[in-house]
Amino acid sequence: MGSYLDAYDAHHRYRGSIVGLLEIGVFDGGSVESWRTYLGDSARILGVDIDPRCAELVDPPNRVLIGSQADPGFLRDAVATLGRLDVVIDDGSHVAAHQIVSFETLCPLVEPGGLYIIEDVHTAYWHS
């Protein structure tokens, strides 16, 4: 079984393009920075997280907005800030109810042919 990176690399068409990527769940900011390296300088990359410390963990032009993935208004504002939504990566709370709100809010805003990825869906089956 391959890694996440193998699956994402299948979508290399976004490299070097003016792609809008929204990542839900930033944690230590490393993946946002990795996306910049992979996608290039033309990419518009925005992270969202509930932890205010995350906003300080990325380098410009990357940005992190602080708010909940379960707040449709916040998510729509994030997309407005981004300007274009081609790729969504939901690696946030891993709570199914939050993932549903995010999906219902963001999926209709993704550009035709774009991607909506939800990571770690196996957590929906954990008892805790």
Whether 94 is catalytic:
yes
Rg (CA), the chain: 14
Residue 86: which H helix or E strand, with range?
none
Q: Which of 94, 98, 122, 127 is catalytic?
A: 94
Q: Show the beta-strand stretches assigned E in 1-128.
A: 20-24, 44-49, 63-66, 87-90, 115-118
CA 18/CA 37 separation, integer angstroms: 14
Lookup result for tokens 């008892």: 127
Q: Which residues are tagged catalytic?
A: 94
